[in-house]
Amino acid sequence: MNRDDLTLPSHGLPRPAPQVQTGGAQMSRIVAGAWRMAEWQRSPQDHLRWIEGCLSLGITTFDHADIYGDYGAESLFGQALALSPGLRQRMQIVSKCGIRLVSAQRPAHQLKSYDTSAEHVMASVDASLRALQTDCLDVLLIHRPDCLLRADEFARCAEDLRQAGKVRHVGVSNFNVHQFNLLHHHTRLVTNQIEWSPLHMQPLEDGTLDQAQMLGLRPMIWSPLAGGALFTSEEAAARRVREVLADLAREWGCDPATVACAWLLRHPSGPIPVWGSRRLGAMQQAVAACQLSLPAEDWYRIWRAAKGHDVA
């Protein structure tokens, strides 16, 4: 492991990421993603250093899912948090459930499938709480749309979890507009965590971001750098976007990743990007975007590079 990954410079730090509200749930404007935590091959002490580094940057919200790391990432986070339990009061924990992976950790699962039944959701929440070594999730998200979702049943389940003090707020992930409307009609949702980046423009076109703005519910954004492809892919769109990001980064005196994050933050729906890097320096680059307001013309320079043509 590169020890520099867990080091922040002693000077030149950006202002801490601001806190925002979505549907009554508090989050930091940049969220730390724990998707790949099991791949980092770190000790609990090093995981704790990463958590503390994120908090020092104002990143107080941590994004999980029960299935991350083959059902192991939440436990790694919980082991680190147990080394300094007082940190729990300074953070918000988001986790997801509803996907059943075929795994040695879940021997009853015979087929990868979705399950949003009350029984499965309740059991998943209890397992996440044990793994994370906490007594409450700040936000619980349904990970993927379930064709067999019974909106009324989930609504009762969500209310039971809130009344039991196990979950403060509920939301969804990867839902389209109609799926969100259905569940939101039955229970109060606070966010829709969606994929969006200059290499995945669908939310700008399918009404997802329009719905978020209409409801005043900030969308969480996963894969904001297209899983790294924004800076590694040799596809034409990625190469065009990289060139524009580099030009703007020189103009603004920052890193291209900061410009990419600022492009997302510029949208009026108030997106909350989930930044999943093991490197605190990369987390710092995302936080710096909170202080960068792209002019509309620069925003559209990136849009044009992504699409490969001017607006109509």
What is the set of active-site residues?
A: 68
Provide the 3-class DSSP secondary structure of residue 30: coil
Place of tokens 């002019």: 295
| Cβ pair 17, 260 in contact under 8 A | no
Distance separating alpha carbons of residues 207 and 52, to the nearest angstrom = 37
| Cβ pair 259, 293 in contact under 8 A | no
Q: Where are the alpha helices (DSSP H) in 216-295?
A: 229-232, 236-252, 256-265, 280-288
| Cβ pair 69, 104 in contact under 8 A | no
Q: What's the first-to-final CA gap in the chain, in angstroms?
A: 48
In the chain, % helix, strand, coil (3-state, to 5) comes to 50, 20, 35
Tokens of 269: 């729906």
Residues facing 103 on adjacent strands? 106
| Ramachandran class of 284: left when φ > 0, alpha when ψ lies in -120 to 50, beta otherwise | alpha
Residues facing 222 on adjacent strands? 195
Tokens of 93: 């924990």
| Cβ pair 268, 299 in contact under 8 A | no
How would DSSP label each residue in 150-175? Answer: -HHHHHHHHHHHHHTTSEEEEEEES-
